Structure 1
Amino acid sequence: MEDFKLARINELYKKSKEEGLTEEEKSEQAQLRSEYIQAVRNNLRGTLNNISLLNPDGTVTELVKKDKH
């Protein structure tokens, strides 16, 4: 996520605590928060997809996604 969007999220948060937000600003804040959450999830998913386990015998096991039943 771009730095200016993070700065805007913080700016809207501060304004909401000090004087309140207009409906347009509330909508913008919700949209920016949604984008931020999606970026965090994608980053976490990318990190988890690159994890490997080193077994005691020296072999490396790639983690795989398990099916939900």
Structure 2
Amino acid sequence: MVTEAEIKRINELAKKSKGVGLSEEEKAEQQLLRRKYIDAMKASLKASLDSIQYVEDLEDNGPKH
């Protein structure tokens, strides 16, 4: 999970990158934070997609009336 502080830092580094530029250390930090953010978003999306149930499946397995 990505914290609010990490998201804030990602945005700070992005803004600084567009302005004065980043040091090599900051570039490495930015890449690490971006990778963590992307991985967290992928995991969240996968969890959402894995929890989808199709209506047809629910009707087939539901109570018989």
State the TM-score bracket (shorter-chain normalisation). Answer: 0.7 to 0.9
The answer for unaligned runs of 5 or more in structure 1 is: 62-69
What code does the residue aligned with 1:45 have?
K
Q: Among the aligned pairs, what percent are the same residue?
A: 42
TM-score of the two chains, using structure 1 as the length reference: 0.80
Q: Which has the larger strand fraction?
A: 1
The alpha-carbon distance between structure 1 residues 60 and 14, as it changes in their structure 2 partners (threshold 3 A), is farther
Aligned partner of 1:67 in structure 2 is none
Aligned pairs, how many? 59
Name the structure where helix makes up a greater proportion of residues: 2
Paired residue for 2:49? 48
Unaligned runs of 5+ in 2: none
Give the structure 2 partner of residue 59 of structure 1.
59
User: Are 2:39 and 1:35 equivalent residues in the alignment?
Assistant: no
Q: CA deviation at 1:39?
A: 0.1
Give 3-state SS (helix, strand or coil) of 1:36's partner.
helix
Secondary structure at the counterpart of residue 59 of structure 1: helix
**Structure-1 residue corresponding to 2:19:** 18
Higher relative contact order (CA 8 A, sep 6+): 2
- What TM-score, normalized to structure 2? 0.85
Conserved? CA contact 1:52–1:60, under 8 Å:
no
For the aligned residue pairs, the C-alpha RMSD in angstroms reads: 1.5
4+ aligned runs moved over 3 Å, structure 1 = none
